[in-house]
């Protein structure tokens, strides 16, 4: 048997072809919903399994959908998913799940994986989903959104879920592909990719992208509305520049992949108490890795081995006024940075026993070669922080997919993680998957997950900035219960209902200590409950879409108050409309989010955002052309601000446009 990609990038299992032979994927529009239920996902169990048998509520977004809905970044893709939300503070985008959307947490409670490689870095445990993300969205084959506790397989950061990205390979290109786009806010992007494969088993993909946006020329913040601070107007301080590089080379059982991204972003909000409207305030992010993977089946034993090296570098140039109240300004440039390197390895074994037990087990190791954080004034030079901690972690995991009856499967596993910083964490998961009749399945899931305190929370100690580290921090933990119901309705519709409840303990939160300094501490925790429902449709004439509704409550365990940035209601819908056969499509999308509370105790109004993309293909050989309007009706809405901001909320962009052309030859 071998796997084969559908037109949209989902994988199904097919009979093996001869070595080097090309298989012709079926047309996605010709498949029924029932046939699509037999497609497989990988990330839920670290092996291919039917979507209906995965021990989680999983959604798959394909490359075809990315094109037809005009998604520009991973953040755009996430916004459209049931139970997910994204906030933006004019520097970074923050992902919320199931009502838990802490502003400024750097996305450390979501695990991001790219082709099996862990993307969360080793200082803030952050993931990037904007233009600082490693992979250009044009190179995504599919994205798997795996909801719920995932630490039993993946360990740290798989707290609320796992986002698993599978990239396109050389065989998907068979030549050169060029892409260019232009849009509002003087935004331009270009990409050049080359990929191909050879019957010998050799395949390669090389790609590079560059992005430049002037951003908003003027952004008004009433909190700074004073003649001394340009009457609250940040002028030409929203620009962003980035570039991406990717190389994937494979020969038979070996794959070598390297990726790198660099980004420069001007910061208009004067966060962290910096001088307002100073053009020198910028942040820089660089992330890259090399990953060598070996995968082979020795009879019934599957072996996967991985060796990797990673790099992450962040720094900011920040203007601070050190003058006392009433004195003339004394602006000093400060540099805050994190420079980090790490390496690691993984060994994974998979085998089926007695035709009923599909067992996967493995081990991982990560050694942090550099975990440096420093902070200093540039001129006159003064050092506030220079710390580096060489730590390591290792883990063992085991999972069994036990087919009790043809229509009853138990998926259970456990993982043991050990960290230098705090010790051990044990993460179990069990899922009972039952199909009483054809086209119907129930999933009852229990899972535990953890998030380890990161180096920033443990060791960032700068008394001059009223912040200190806390090496005594313990990991925060979550216990999650879920019930998933999936039902096929005729040949064209699929219904998903997912109820969930979670309890978070030892939540890591920044507080003001008795000495008036900020410090991270383990506090009581939080509880999240809710239900999400989604209906997907697919018709032979090319119509495809989905509609989802999520009700959720995320509350503080002590006060029972609704958490900050936690909408109780979210409605999302999208539809692909074929206008001309298989050549021209319209892709309208609607997203509703109810009111949210801010850190200042204010309530932001709910809002509806509409997007529309018109996409064409096959009008000329190798040519694709699309036009997109984002926030089509120019809705004015705001996202809650983080603790580092003077602003309690940040206004988001109004209506913007983009035109994109792709040509392959």
Q: Is 5 exposed, middle or buried (0-12, 13-18, 19+ CB in 10 A)?
A: buried
Tell me: the pLDDT tens digits for 445-494? 999 999 999 999 999 999 888 899 999 999 999 999 999 999 999 889 99
Residue with tokens 């980035």: 242
> With contact defined as beta carbons under 8 Å apart, do 338 and 375 qualify?
no
pLDDT at 380: 93
- The CATH number covering residue 141 comes to 2.40.170.20
The answer to whether residues 221 and 234 touch, using CB atoms and an 8 Å cutoff, is: yes
Q: Which of 657, 611, 596 is nearest to 85 (CA)?
A: 596
CA distances from 418 to 122, 326, 363, 475 (A): 15, 53, 11, 12
CB–CB of 427/449 below 8 Å?
yes
Q: Which residues of the chain have pLDDT under 70?
A: 1-38
3-state secondary structure at position 25:
coil
* C-alpha distances in Å from residue 610, one per residue of 169, 518, 571, 573: 33, 40, 12, 10
Non-local CB neighbours of 386 within 8 Å, separated by 6+ positions: 372, 373, 374, 376
Please tell me the number of Cα atoms within 13 Å of 568 on its side-chain side. 9
The burial class, CB within 10 Å (0-12 / 13-18 / 19+), for 425 is buried
- What's phi and psi for 48, nearest 5 deg? -70, 130
Number of Cβ within a 10 Å radius of residue 271: 22
Q: CA-to-CA distance for 188 and 171, rounded, in angstroms?
A: 28
Do residues 427 and 413 make contact, with C-beta atoms less than 8 angstroms apart?
Answer: no
β-pairing, 111-114 vs 161-167, is: parallel
pLDDT of amino acid 520: 93
Sequence-ordered strand ranges (E) for 322-407: 331-353, 357-377, 382-388, 392-405
Cβ–Cβ under 8 Å, residues 308 and 278: no
Q: Which residues contact 289 (CB under 8 A, 6 or more apart)?
A: 117, 134, 257, 258, 259, 308, 309, 310, 311
Residue 609 belongs to what domain range? Answer: 2-664
**Backbone phi and psi for residue 272, each to the nearest 5 degrees, phi listed first:** 60, 30
Whether residue 530 contacts residue 515, with contact meaning beta carbons closer than 8 Å, is answered with no
Nearest Cα residue to 45 out of 415, 372, 578: 415
Identify the sign of the CA torsion 264, 269, 272, 277: positive
pLDDT computed for residue 38 by the predictor = 61
Determine how many CB atoms are found less than 10 A away from the CB of residue 500.
21
pLDDT of 37: 55
| Residue 21, pLDDT score | 31
pLDDT at 13: 36
- The confidence score (pLDDT) of residue 165 equals 98
Point out which residues pair with 392 in neighbouring strands.
367
pLDDT value for 436: 95
The pair of structure tokens assigned to 154 is 């993946």
* Cis bond before residue 380 (omega within 30° of 0): yes
Tally of domains in the chain: 1
pTM: 0.94
Q: What is the pLDDT of residue 605?
A: 97
Question: pLDDT for 110-151, tens place per residue?
Answer: 999 999 999 999 999 999 999 999 999 999 999 999 999 999
Distance, CA of 107 to CA of 163 (rounded, Å): 12
pLDDT of residue 33: 62
Residue 331: closest CA among 383, 274, 376: 274
């Amino acid at each position: 048997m071998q796997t084969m990609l559908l037109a949209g990038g989902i994988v199904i299992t097919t009979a093996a072809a001869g070595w080097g032979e090309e298989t012709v994927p079926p047309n996605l529009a010709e498949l029924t919903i029932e046939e699509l239920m037999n497609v497989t996902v990988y990330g839920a169990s670290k092996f291919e399994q039917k979507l209906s048998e995965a021990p989680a509520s999983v959604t798959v977004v394909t490359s075809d959908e990315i094109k037809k809905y005009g998604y520009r970044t991973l953040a755009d893709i996430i916004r459209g998913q049931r139970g997910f939300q994204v906030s933006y503070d004019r520097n970074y985008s923050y992902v919320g799940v199931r009502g838990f959307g802490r502003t400024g947490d750097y996305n450390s409670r979501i695990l991001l994986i790219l082709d099996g490689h862990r993307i969360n870095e080793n200082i803030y445990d952050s993931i990037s989903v904007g233009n600082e993300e490693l992979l250009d969205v044009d190179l995504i084959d599919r994205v798997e959104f795996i909801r719920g506790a995932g630490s039993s397989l993946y360990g740290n950061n798989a707290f609320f879920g796992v986002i698993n990205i599978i990239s396109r390979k050389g065989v998907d290109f068979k030549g050169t592909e060029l892409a260019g786009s232009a849009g509002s806010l003087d935004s331009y992007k270009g990409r050049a990719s080359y990929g191909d494969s050879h019957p010998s088993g050799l395949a390669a993909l090389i790609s590079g992208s560059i992005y430049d946006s002037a951003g908003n020329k003027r952004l008004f913040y009433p909190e700074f509305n004073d003649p001394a601070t340009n009457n609250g107007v940040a002028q030409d301080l929203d620009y962003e520049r980035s570039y991406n590089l990717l190389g994937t080379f494979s020969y038979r059982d070996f794959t070598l992949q390297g990726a790198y991204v660099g980004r420069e972003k001007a910061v208009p909000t004067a966060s962290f108490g910096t001088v307002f409207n100073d053009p020198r305030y910028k942040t820089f992010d660089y992330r890259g890795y090399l990953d060598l993977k070996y995968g082979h089946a020795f009879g019934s034993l599957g072996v996967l081995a991985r060796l990797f090296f990673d790099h992450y570098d962040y720094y900011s140039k920040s203007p601070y006024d050190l003058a006392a109240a009433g004195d003339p300004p004394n602006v000093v440039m400060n540099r805050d940075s994190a420079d980090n390197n790490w390496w690691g390895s993984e060994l994974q074994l998979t085998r089926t026993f007695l035709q009923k037990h599909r067992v996967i087990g493995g081990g991982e190791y990560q050694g942090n070669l550099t975990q440096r954080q420093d902070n200093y004034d540039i001129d006159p030079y003064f050092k506030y922080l220079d710390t580096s901690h060489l730590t390591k972690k290792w883990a063992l995991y085991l999972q069994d997919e036990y087919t009790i009856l043809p229509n009853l499967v138990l998926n259970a596993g456990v993982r043991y993680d050990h960290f230098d910083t705090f010790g051990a964490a044990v993460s179990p998961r069990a899922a009972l998957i039952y199909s009483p009749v054809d086209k119907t399945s129930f999933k009852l899931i229990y899972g535990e997950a953890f998030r380890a305190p990161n180096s920033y929370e443990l060791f960032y100690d700068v008394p001059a900035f009223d912040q200190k580290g806390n090496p005594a921090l313990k990991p925060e933990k979550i216990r999650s219960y879920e019930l998933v119901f999936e039902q096929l309705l005729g040949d064209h519709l699929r219904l998903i209902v997912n109820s969930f409840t979670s309890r978070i303990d030892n939540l890591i939160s920044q507080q003001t200590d008795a000495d008036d300094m900020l410090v991270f501490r383990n506090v009581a925790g939080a509880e999240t409950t809710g239900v999400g429902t989604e209906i997907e449709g697919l018709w032979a004439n090319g119509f495809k879409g989905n509609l989802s509704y999520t009700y959720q409550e995320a509350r503080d365990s002590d006060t029972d108050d609704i958490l900050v940035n936690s909408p109780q209601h979210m409605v999302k819908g999208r539809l692909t409309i074929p206008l001309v056969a298989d050549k021209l499509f319209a892709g309208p999308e609607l997203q509703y989010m109810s009111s949210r509370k801010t850190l200042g105790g204010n309530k932001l109004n709910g809002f509806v955002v509409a997007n529309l993309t018109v996409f064409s293909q096959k009008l000329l050989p190798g040519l694709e052309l699309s036009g997109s309007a984002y926030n089509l009706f120019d809705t004015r809405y705001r996202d809650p601000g983080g603790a580092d901001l003077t602003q309690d909320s940040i206004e988001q962009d109004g209506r913007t446009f983009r035109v994109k052309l792709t040509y392959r030859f």
